[in-house]
Structures are given as structure tokens and as C-alpha cells.
Chains A and B, each alone.
Chain A
Amino acid sequence: MAAEAKIKCSVGLTGNSAVAYAMKQINPDVVAAYPITPSTTIVEEFSGYVADGKVDTEFVTVESEHSAMSACIGASAAGARVMTATSSQGLALMWEMLYIASGMRLPIVMTCVNRALSAPLNIHCDHSDSMGARDSGWIQLYSETVQEAYDNVIQAVRIAEQENILLPVMVCLDGFITSHSIENLCLLDDDVIKKFIGEYKPSQPSLLDVDHPTTYGAVALPDSYMEARRQQAEAMTLSKDVIINAAKDFEKISGRSYGLMEKYRMDDADAAIVILNSAAGTTKVAVDEMRNKGLKVGLLKPRVFRPFPYIEMAEALKNVKVIGVLDRADSYTSFGGPLFTEIRSSLYELDKRPKIINRIFGLGGRDYGVKDSLAVFEELLKIKDMGKIDKVYDYISVRE
């Protein structure tokens, strides 16, 4: 078959439709979910596929996100391939179960459509939800576009289920901005995806294996708890190579290349913005405008936030003179957002460390436009010229 026949390009889908379609193609054994804006239509459309007999999935409707994740955990421990989706308060309600999913090493794949957390109540995009879950032991992949969200969901299944990893994976995309915007994207053939993800065969006896009865979720007292946690840390460390390898294989079937991060016009950049998800697209436009004026600026867009690729991050940023990390969430440390503190820490080993500032932007869906991006670049170049930083941590696009 010709390569073109395998890839359907120029299909217009919203981020949520693309994720739902990827889930249909993956055809998981179990999906347990509870609807929450802006992730709702993923599950809504997927339930349509279930009702139409397009998938073999057991679709479990539950009364809350806590139960959704609980049902996912039970199903995954029973040996099923499991997926779900959520946002914001829904993710927050899953909190205790997120740690159980990762601690029990269950390769659940969940899409998190990023949305602000209450209070004040807000349904629009920021990264407070997934950033809050950054220490829950889940691998986290971030997606700039609808295409990336689709591609990440497919790769997530492969990454999660690797025998030496067995960790849950969260695929993040921006609420409304990506989830509800229609973009053209290329879809892969069902068969190609099936081959790429393979069949999920748990290497250990599952809960339903009556010939090999096992206990999942047993108590581990001080004499054994730490060994389990040490194993989890190892799996997270090993997952970096697994993510890279999955991306390499994915490129072979899709022609699209992914890594731990995307570097945009970074080669000789004096100033760089580091930013996640859809805002990276906006920033690229600003980079091009600045470059047209002969100003050496670039963009670094992390794709993998957990595990945090600190070596590659330092490598990518070591020749930049001034870095602006833009966080779409605050950690309320009074020092900076989550992306900032970790990138700043990654640079510590460098002999010559770049100057670095943090700007909190876009909370609760506050618009981030090209002009905002340009303003940050101008500030960065000013710092480069003056050689000093006025404020390390601040908010932008906020009314004074």
C-alpha cells in the first residue's frame, strides 16, 4: 500500500475530537470517566463510538472523578488497557487515586485538558491542574497543537505499557484553545496504530488471573514501602529513553518527529522564551517577527515535563544569555512557577549560567498574544544589554 493511503491528512478536528478519535483507534478495554469542562467532549464523543459499536471498550460511567480513577485503577490491575480524560477540579478530585495509580504501576493513559482551578471559579485554560499533579508519579506530555495531542495520546499508550516502565501517562493540551479549536491534522490508519502500540500483555499476574492469585494494593510498612518507591523513581528515570524511542518509532509511521522538547530558532539565540503548550505557537510568531528585525531570539517548548529532562534542558539553554520562563500556573512559592524553578535548577551545573526570569501569564484563560510575547523578548534583550535583572518573578498581562 502506498504511504499516502496510510495517512489521512487535512482532516479538520478539534483537539477533543482528535483525542476521542485516537482513543477509538486505540480501542482500549476500559474507559471510566466523568464529564468536566473542557474535557467533556472527549468522553462524550468516545461514548458515541461505544454506543455505535465502533470499539470493544467497556465504558464505565461513574458519579465522580475520584470514582473514575478508582475504576480505571481496578480495571488496569485486572489487566485491561485503560484510558480516561479529565480537567481541573476533576483532576483535583482524583488526587488521592493518581498516586495509587502510579504507586501500583498501572499504565493508565489520561488526557488532561488544562483548565484553571477554583477559586475564583473559572473554566478556561491554565496549567494549575496538571502542574499540581506533577509530583504524583505520572509521566506528563504536553501538546501545542491538535496534531500533537493526537500523536501524544498514541505514543502515551506505548510508553506507559513498556515492561520496565509501567507508569501512568498524562497527556496535556490547552482547554478551549486547543481542545475546542479545529485544526487540520493527519490521522494514522487504525492498523498502523494497532501495530505501533501492540497488544497489552501484563508481565505479572493480574487480579483476574485466578491460577496465580495475587494481592494488589496491600499495606507496605516501613520495612518495605521505600523499596517500592525506589522502584518507581527508577521507572521514571528510565522512561526518558523509552519516550525518545517511542518518538523515533512514531516518526517512522507518521513522518512527524518528537523529542523531549522542541527548539525553535534556538541555534544562535541570545534570548529565549521557554513555554508550554499552545502559547508556544503564539511565541513562534513573535520569534519570527524579532528574527526578521535581526534580533537573535528563540523558543524552547518542553514536551516532556515528567520525567524532567534536566540534562537536555541545560544543554539546550547553555548558550542563551537571557531566558524567560513563562509559566501558566503559579506555585505560590513567591519565587516562581513550576517550570521556572525546575529549569533554573537544571542550569545550576553549568559553568556559565544564563540570566533567567519568570513571568506568570495566561491564568484562567487570560489571553496571551504575540504582543505579550514580543514584550517579554524586549525585556529579555534589555536584561542582556543592561546585565542585570530587575524582577526575577512577576506577572504579565495583569491590570495594575
Chain B
Amino acid sequence: MKKGWKETPIRGIILEAGSAHEYSTGGWRKLKPVFDRTKCIDCMFCWVFCPDSAVIVEKGKMIGFDLEHCKGCGICAMECPDKVKAITMVEEEKEKK
């Protein structure tokens, strides 16, 4: 049960940090980024440019996407250097089939 108006913090403020993490935006996606590890040079462009912090990096290596939060905007695929092109955007539905 969500809080009633008397219990809700006033001002519409959110009192916890990082609460956006609990809000799944992955369902908005039409195109999905697909990543080819063999082409990746770990330049981190995708990580820097992703507006949703949906690029997962571990120990300096790009390892994939957080599809709960990736909205499928394609910025990562666009910014991935032309000579490697390690990310391609594919239609969510087609990929599933």
C-alpha cells in the first residue's frame, strides 16, 4: 500500500538517494543495444554518453547493458567509434523471435 497524503513527505521531495534505480524504464524500449565483446576496445564512450547509466562496466571493461534501465535510445551505438562499431541496435521483437 502506498502512503496516504498525510504520510507522504511534503513538497513532493524524494528523501532517499538513488531511488530512480527502483524505477524500471526498460519497458519503454523499442530498439535494444546488442554488444560484440570481440570488437570492443573499452574506450568507455558508451558508458560516458548513456543517459540512463545503463552501460555496465567492471574493472575497466565494458561488459554489457542493464536492460532494466536501458531505454533503447541508441546513443551508445552512435558514439561507439566508427572503426569498431561494437554496438548494434536491433528491434526488440525481432530479436526475441
- List residues of chain A with CB under 8 Å of any chain B CB: 103-106, 166, 204-205, 212-218, 220, 223-224, 226-228, 230-231, 234-235
- Contact A103/B12 with A223-B2, A227-B4 known, Cβ cut-off 8 Å: yes
* Residues in A neighbouring B2, C-beta threshold 8 A: 223-224
A-B contacts, 20 listed (Cβ < 8 Å): A104-B12, A105-B10, A106-B11, A204-B9, A204-B11, A212-B15, A214-B14, A214-B17, A216-B11, A217-B12, A218-B13, A223-B2, A224-B8, A226-B5, A228-B8, A231-B5, A231-B6, A231-B8, A231-B10, A234-B5
Are B4 and A214 in contact, with the CB atoms below 8 A? no
Beta-carbon nearest neighbor of A206 in chain B: B13
Are B12 and A220 in contact, with the CB atoms below 8 A? yes
List 20 additional A-B contacts (Cβ < 8 Å) besides A104-B12, A220-B12, A227-B3.
A104-B13, A105-B10, A166-B10, A204-B10, A204-B13, A214-B13, A214-B14, A215-B19, A216-B11, A216-B12, A216-B13, A218-B12, A224-B12, A226-B5, A227-B4, A227-B5, A228-B8, A228-B12, A230-B5, A231-B5
Beta-carbon nearest neighbor of B19 in chain A: A215
Looking at B5, B9, B19, which has the most chain A CB atoms within 10 Å of its CB?
A: B5
* Residues in A neighbouring B8, C-beta threshold 8 A: 224, 227-228, 231
Are B11 and A105 in contact, with the CB atoms below 8 A? yes
Beta-carbon nearest neighbor of B7 in chain A: A227
B1-39, CB < 8 A from A: 2-6, 8-15, 17, 19
Beta-carbon nearest neighbor of B9 in chain A: A204
CB proximity of B52 to chain A, nearest CB, Å: 15
* Residues in B neighbouring A215, C-beta threshold 8 A: 13-14, 19
* Residues in A neighbouring B4, C-beta threshold 8 A: 227
* Residues in A neighbouring B15, C-beta threshold 8 A: 204-205, 212, 214
* Residues in B neighbouring A103, C-beta threshold 8 A: 12
A125 and B4 CA atoms in complex are apart in Å by: 44
* Residues in A neighbouring B5, C-beta threshold 8 A: 226-228, 230-231, 234
A143 and B45 CA atoms in complex are apart in Å by: 60
Q: How large is the interface on B (under 10, 10 to 19, 20 to 34, 35 or more residues)?
A: 10 to 19
CB proximity of B76 to chain A, nearest CB, Å: 24
* Residues in B neighbouring A205, C-beta threshold 8 A: 15
A-B contacts at CB below 8 angstroms, number? 53
CB proximity of A291 to chain B, nearest CB, Å: 48
A338 and B66 CA atoms in complex are apart in Å by: 54
A345 and B11 CA atoms in complex are apart in Å by: 30
- List residues of chain B with CB under 8 Å of any chain A CB: 2-6, 8-15, 17, 19
A103 and B3 CA atoms in complex are apart in Å by: 19
* Residues in B neighbouring A216, C-beta threshold 8 A: 11-13
CB proximity of B40 to chain A, nearest CB, Å: 33
Are A213 and B12 in contact, with the CB atoms below 8 A? no
A214 and B9 CA atoms in complex are apart in Å by: 11
A227 and B5 CA atoms in complex are apart in Å by: 4
Beta-carbon nearest neighbor of A212 in chain B: B15
A349 and B56 CA atoms in complex are apart in Å by: 65
Looking at B5, B10, B15, B17, which has the most chain A CB atoms within 10 Å of its CB?
A: B10
Are B17 and A104 in contact, with the CB atoms below 8 A? no
CB proximity of B27 to chain A, nearest CB, Å: 14
Looking at A104, A204, A215, which has the most chain B CB atoms within 10 Å of its CB?
A: A215
Beta-carbon nearest neighbor of A234 in chain B: B5
A235 and B10 CA atoms in complex are apart in Å by: 10
* Residues in A neighbouring B11, C-beta threshold 8 A: 104-106, 166, 204, 216, 228
A9 and B2 CA atoms in complex are apart in Å by: 56
* Residues in B neighbouring A104, C-beta threshold 8 A: 11-13
* Residues in A neighbouring B6, C-beta threshold 8 A: 231
A218 and B12 CA atoms in complex are apart in Å by: 7
CB proximity of A152 to chain B, nearest CB, Å: 25
* Residues in B neighbouring A228, C-beta threshold 8 A: 5, 8, 10-12
A213 and B15 CA atoms in complex are apart in Å by: 7
A104 and B9 CA atoms in complex are apart in Å by: 11
* Residues in B neighbouring A106, C-beta threshold 8 A: 11
Beta-carbon nearest neighbor of A203 in chain B: B10
A205 and B8 CA atoms in complex are apart in Å by: 15
CB proximity of A173 to chain B, nearest CB, Å: 29
Beta-carbon nearest neighbor of A105 in chain B: B11
A230 and B5 CA atoms in complex are apart in Å by: 7
CB proximity of A106 to chain B, nearest CB, Å: 8
CB proximity of A227 to chain B, nearest CB, Å: 4
CB proximity of B8 to chain A, nearest CB, Å: 5
Beta-carbon nearest neighbor of B4 in chain A: A227
A377 and B15 CA atoms in complex are apart in Å by: 57
